[in-house]
Structure formats: structure tokens, C-alpha cells
Amino acid sequence: MKVAVVDINGKKTGRNVELSDAIFAIEPNDHAIYLDVKHHLANKRQGTHKAKERADITGSTRKIKKQKGTGTARAGSIKSPIFRGGGRAFGPRPRDYSFKLNKGVKRLARQSALSIKAKEDNIVVLEKFNLEAPKTKDFIKILKSLDLENKKSLFVLEESNINVYLSSRNLKDVNIVNGSKINTYNVLKANKVVLSEESLEEIESNFSK
């Protein structure tokens, strides 16, 4: 699959790159995508939620009324969940939501996500660029040139570029990652995936095994 290389002004450079069919042209596996997205979101959960149950409530432990003869249900503690101010029944407790996912499933899911974007013609290959200083205004100009303003975009670069990262971090719809940090969730969330020429080699080495 051939894709034209463009510059930061959105103009074609006259060069084309070949995208690997093993990564960008496979039949998407919906279940692998589901598992990888679920895995990503589960790992992001803090799991620090906690509600006070009856053992955590401060209050008297005396029996609040006699067992029989009241005409109502028996009650042994003011901290019971049925009373106002009592503990919560079966409340959330701190827990770890993360789970294991095999590397092969992750790889298949990411190949599937990239193949979906390629099929939709939502992959842009950008020649290597750099910013002399971290300026958001300069990065917005690049987005306008690529017709990505007010669109969710994922930029995949070959290495950590501090000026590009600092220029884009205030933009809520832009995500900057390295080729080794691509995940299914971010790829599917983006309207356009912008790949630098140099990042393609890293993507192919990571996802074609």
C-alpha cells in the first residue's frame, strides 16, 4: 500500500512510502480490539474508591430496641444499612482492575486499528520536522496546513521531541507518542493518524513479529 509523503505545509513532496500489508491491510479482528481497549482503560483506573460499611461507621453498638413485641422488624445496631446514617451495604472497596493480555492479542489489535485507519484513508505520512522553540502557535499552523484543526489527531514520531511535545500539550485534541507507544485506544480515538517517515520503521519492527 503506497501513501504520499507530505510536508508540514500539507503539500506533497513527490515521494511515496510503502506501508506494510501485514500491519496496515489485514482483516480487522473486532474481539482483539475490544480486549485491548478494555485492557487499556482498566489499567488507567485507580481503583481507590471506598464506601463506609457498617464496621467503619462510628456509632453506638447497643441494641436499639428489644427483640420482640415492637410489631416491627428486629434491629440490632444503629449502624445497620437500613437506618439513616448507617453503613452502606456492599459498598465499593479498593481493588486493582488491571488484567493480563497476551502480547499476540495486543499486536493483532493494534494492527487491526491501523488497518481500519488505512482503509478509511485516515493515515497521513509526514516528512521529518522539528520546531526551533516550543510554541503552540507554530504547531497550530501545522495542524491547519494538514487540515487537522479542531480534529482529534495522533502524531507518531520516531523519537521524543521535546519542542513538539511542549507545543502540543495544551491542545486537547492532539496526542504525541513514539512508535513504540502506539495503543489501540488512541488510534481508534483519533480522526487522523499522522506518522513520521522515520517512525514507520519502528512500527514495522514492533508490530510485524
pLDDT value of position 73: 92
- Cα angle vertex 141, ends 153, 19, to 5°? 45
CA distance 22 to 205: 11
DSSP string, 1-38: -EEEEE-TTS-EEEEEEEPPHHHHSS---HHHHHHHHH
How do residues 141-161 score in pLDDT, each as one tens digit?
999 999 998 899 999 988 777
Residue type, 93: R
| Residues 32 and 120 reside in one and the same domain | yes
The mean per-residue pLDDT over the stretch 61-81 comes to 91
pLDDT value of position 99: 94
Among 62, 96, 130, residue at a domain's last position = 96
pLDDT value of position 209: 65
| Residues 58 and 35 reside in one and the same domain | no
| Residues 29 and 61 reside in one and the same domain | no
Look at residue 16 and tell me whether its pLDDT is greater than 90: no
Domain that holds residue 57: 48-96
| Residues 139 and 115 reside in one and the same domain | yes
| Residues 171 and 83 reside in one and the same domain | no
| Residues 76 and 160 reside in one and the same domain | no
pLDDT value of position 195: 92
The mean per-residue pLDDT over the stretch 194-200 comes to 89
What is the domain count for the chain? 2
Among 67, 96, 125, residue at a domain's last position = 96
| Residues 110 and 8 reside in one and the same domain | yes
How do residues 99-137 score in pLDDT, each as one tens digit?
999 999 999 999 999 999 999 999 999 988 888 888 999
Residue 34: all three cell numbers together? 475490544
Look at residue 205 and tell me whether its pLDDT is greater than 70: yes
| Residues 85 and 143 reside in one and the same domain | no
pLDDT value of position 15: 87
Look at residue 164 and tell me whether its pLDDT is greater than 80: yes
pLDDT value of position 13: 86
| Residues 159 and 69 reside in one and the same domain | no
* 28 confidence band (pLDDT: 50, 70, 90): very high
Task: Enumerate the H helices of the chain as residue ranges.
Answer: 21-24, 30-44, 103-119, 136-145, 162-168, 184-189, 197-207
CA distance 157 to 101: 26
| Residues 108 and 84 reside in one and the same domain | no
The mean per-residue pLDDT over the stretch 38-63 comes to 93
Say if residues 65 and 75 touch (Cβ distance below 8 Å): yes
How do residues 51-67 score in pLDDT, each as one tens digit?
999 999 998 889 999 99
Task: Name the residue with cell 512510502.
Answer: 17
Residue type, 116: I
Look at residue 11 and tell me whether its pLDDT is greater than 70: yes
pLDDT value of position 113: 95
CA distance 40 to 183: 8
| Residues 121 and 196 reside in one and the same domain | yes
Element (H, E) at 193: strand 192-196
| Residues 32 and 114 reside in one and the same domain | yes
